[in-house]
Structure 1
Amino acid sequence: MKAVLEGNVIAEADDAELIQIEGNHYFPPSSVHEGVLVESPTPYVCPWKGECQYFSVVVAGTTYKDLAWSYPEPYASGIERVGRDFSGYVAFGREIEVRP
């Protein structure tokens, strides 16, 4: 699977490596292309997943604010609920197409 923004592939992983949570595809951190994510100060805490880290996505010199997020240290109950450890996995906003 690929995460694509403005025709640029920003992450790529085998389908088996992705984790689906609430309709979002979470990519392993190692599958995200280097240099496309910039940490954002936007705060958010999910009641069942834990503290979220937002990222802006940089593609071809353009910065797209808060289009990606991750849970660096999700709650143990969240991992149990999902059935897999999704620590550090990265999900993308709807503007980013996830496709085979």
Structure 2
Amino acid sequence: MPTATAKISGTTVASADHYETVEGNIYFPPDSLDKSLLSSSDTHSNCPWKGQASYYNITVDGKTVKDAAWYYPTPKEKATNIKDHVAFYGSKVNVSVA
């Protein structure tokens, strides 16, 4: 599997050669994240088939990008493959596969 990378301003937030792709979004496994850059957000949203999503803010070089990533801590049955995996908004984070 090709390596997927998520970066903000050249700083790697996540990098993995194993990940899940759902609805065109790459979901990075928890062990691929630089958790020192992430902080929990109060934002939540709901997907009819995946369940309730929680969000992360990402801080790089003293600048915080709000709600730049999301994950499903307790996904519904059809989405258990992405439990705790993190996806990033392409408008806020550069996600590439090479």
Q: TM-score, normalised by structure 1?
A: 0.87
Provide the aligned length of Structure 1 versus Structure 2. 93
Q: Deviations over 1:33-92 (max 9, x none)?
A: 12111111112111110010111111111100000000011001333xxxxx11000000
Query: For the residues of structure 2 that align with 1:89 and 1:34, how far apart are their CA atoms?
Result: 12
1:98 equivalent in alignment to 2:77: no
Identity value in percent: 39
Consecutive unaligned residues in structure 1, runs of 5 or more: 80-84
For the aligned residue pairs, the C-alpha RMSD in angstroms reads 1.0
Query: For the residues of structure 2 that align with 1:40 and 1:23, how far apart are their CA atoms?
Result: 23
Runs of 4+ more than 2 Å apart:
none
The structure where strand makes up a greater share of residues is 2
Partner of 1:7: 10
Q: Secondary structure at the match of 1:88?
A: coil
Query: For the residues of structure 2 that align with 1:96 and 1:7, how far apart are their CA atoms?
Result: 10
Consecutive unaligned residues in structure 2, runs of 5 or more: none
Aligned pairs for 1:52-63 (under 5 A) are 52-63=53-64
Query: For the residues of structure 1 that align with 2:29 and 2:60, how far apart are their CA atoms?
Result: 19
Query: For the residues of structure 1 that align with 2:64 and 2:95, how far apart are their CA atoms?
Result: 19
